[in-house]
């Protein structure tokens, strides 16, 4: 058996390169795993874009098949956890970094990494959500579990036209929250309103140094930006509010003070999607399956081929896209 996959390579002679190549099953099974999955779809996330463009040291072993997301059918499972024909989802677990990922027609994975595809989601719909949307769901669950109610005030979502932002807005709106979207793409106002945002602010207003404590505006927030943006969000969060953090688009630094935390009791909650427990993953996907508006799937999702991944990755890094890009690995 042989199949197509994107291969990232880096050495002293060729430096960094990526290409679509033919891989054999024997090569694939050299990866550590116990479950062979016929991948149907993958999706491009920000981490995939960094790997495809070599803009950040995401890949830690070479050669590498990128793709931190995948959905497909189990062909064989040595652990017995899944049966042939079962539909499963992969998100994270180092795939595309230290383990061959899902920008390929087949993947060899550990069954502990997989969760069943919810019965009311199609494989294609699950990759419109992907890791970006699953991360958004983890953030929403953190806010809900913290006790924030719709009547407590507005919730801010940064990076609003991206994958995390788009799904977060849609989920929060469906749950009855008033969402304010922060974006650098003010021209996409109609897109954000259709997702459910009731307010839109220019993200530039959050990116510069400001006072340690500012006007209280948000009962909660979901931030993918970090740096001064995250510091300003914390300074604007209401007494007893919560800020979830899951990204670093502006930077890894956090030039903040302790003032919001000790004077307003603000909680800063980190949200990790890569190593999240099975129970957290299932809960996040169930939230999506139950509360994501079906009409929005076609609105935020676009299908591309393996050959188009590199171009989309460059545009993603440059901040030139919106929504989600689903990779049809068979084309």
Model confidence over 43-83: pLDDT tens digits? 999 999 999 999 888 999 999 999 999 999 999 999 999 99
pTM of the complete model? 0.93
User: Can you tell me the mean pLDDT for 304-315?
Assistant: 96
pLDDT digits (tens, 9 = 90+) for 187-246: 999 999 999 999 999 999 999 999 999 999 999 999 999 999 999 999 999 999 999 999
Average per-residue pLDDT for the chain: 96
Q: Give yes or no for residue 319 having a pLDDT over 90.
A: no
Instruction: Tell me what pLDDT residue 1 has.
Output: 87
Q: For the chain, percent helix, then strand, then coil, each to nearest 5? A: 35, 30, 35
How far is it, in rounded angstroms, from Cα 23 to Cα 26?
8
Q: Which domains does the chain have, with CATH numbers?
A: 2-117+297-328 (3.90.180.10), 131-270 (3.40.50.720)
| Tokens standing for residue 268 | 């800063």
**Which residues are within 8 A (CB) of 182 and not within 5 positions of it... i.e. 6 or more apart?**
156, 157, 158, 159, 160, 200, 201, 202, 203, 206, 229
pLDDT band for position 12 (cuts 50, 70, 90): confident
| Residue predicted with more confidence, 55 or 290 | 290
pLDDT digits (tens, 9 = 90+) for 136-193: 999 999 999 999 999 999 999 999 999 999 999 999 999 999 999 999 989 999 999 9
Q: Give the torsion sign (CA, 115, 85, 129, 289).
A: negative
Q: What is the DSSP letter of 258?
A: S
The pLDDT of residue 57 is 86
Q: Using CB atoms within 10 Å of the CB of residue 32, give its burial: 0 to 12 exposed, 13 to 18 middle, 19+ buried.
A: exposed
Q: What is the mean pLDDT of residues 83-101?
A: 97
d(CA 94, CA 231): 29
Measured CA to CA, the distance from residue 115 to residue 9 in angstroms comes to: 30
Q: Structure tokens of 122?
A: 């199609």
- Which DSSP string corresponds to 65-82? ---SEEEEEEEEETTSSS
Mean pLDDT, to the nearest integer, of 120-143?
96
Residue 14's pLDDT is 64
Per-residue pLDDT tens for 56-65? 889 999 999 9
CB-side neighbour CA atoms (13 Å) of 159: 29
């Amino acid at each position: 058996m042989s199949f197509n996959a994107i291969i990232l390579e880096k050495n002293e002679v060729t430096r960094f390169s990526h290409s679509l190549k033919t891989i054999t099953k024997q090569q694939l099974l050299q990866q550590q795993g116990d479950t062979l999955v016929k991948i149907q779809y993958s999706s491009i996330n920000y981490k995939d874009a960094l790997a495809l463009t070599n803009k950040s040291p995401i890949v830690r072993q070479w050669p590498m098949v990128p793709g931190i997301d995948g959905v497909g059918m189990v062909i064989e499972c040595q652990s017995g956890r899944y049966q042939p024909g079962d539909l499963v989802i992969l998100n994270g677990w180092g795939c595309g970094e230290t383990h061959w990922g899902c920008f390929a027609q087949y993947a060899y994975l550990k069954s502990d990494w997989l969760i069943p595809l919810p019965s009311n989601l199609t494989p294609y719909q699950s990759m419109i959500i992907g890791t970006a949307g699953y991360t958004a769901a983890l953030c929403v669950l953190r806010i809900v579990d913290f006790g924030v109610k719709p009547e407590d005030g507005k919730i801010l979502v940064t990076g609003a036209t991206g994958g995390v932002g788009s799904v977060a807005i849609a989920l929060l709106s469906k749950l009855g929250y008033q969402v304010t979207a922060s974006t650098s793409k003010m021209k996409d106002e109609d897109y954000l309103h259709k997702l459910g945002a009731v307010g839109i602010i220019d993200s530039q207003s959050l990116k510069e140094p400001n006072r340690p404590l500012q006007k209280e505006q948000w009962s909660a927030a979901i931030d993918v930006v970090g740096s001064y943006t995250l510091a300003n969000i914390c300074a604007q969060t209401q007494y007893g509010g919560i800020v979830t953090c899951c990204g670093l688009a502006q930077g890894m630094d956090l030039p903040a003070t302790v003032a919001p935390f000790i004077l307003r009791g603000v909680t800063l909650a980190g949200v990790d999607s890569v190593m999240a427990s099975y129970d957290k993953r299932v809960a996040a996907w169930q939230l999506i399956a139950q509360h994501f508006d079906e009409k929005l799937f076609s609105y935020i999702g676009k299908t591309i081929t393996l050959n188009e991944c590199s171009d989309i990755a460059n545009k993603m890094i440059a901040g030139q896209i919106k929504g989600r890009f689903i990779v049809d690995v068979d084309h």
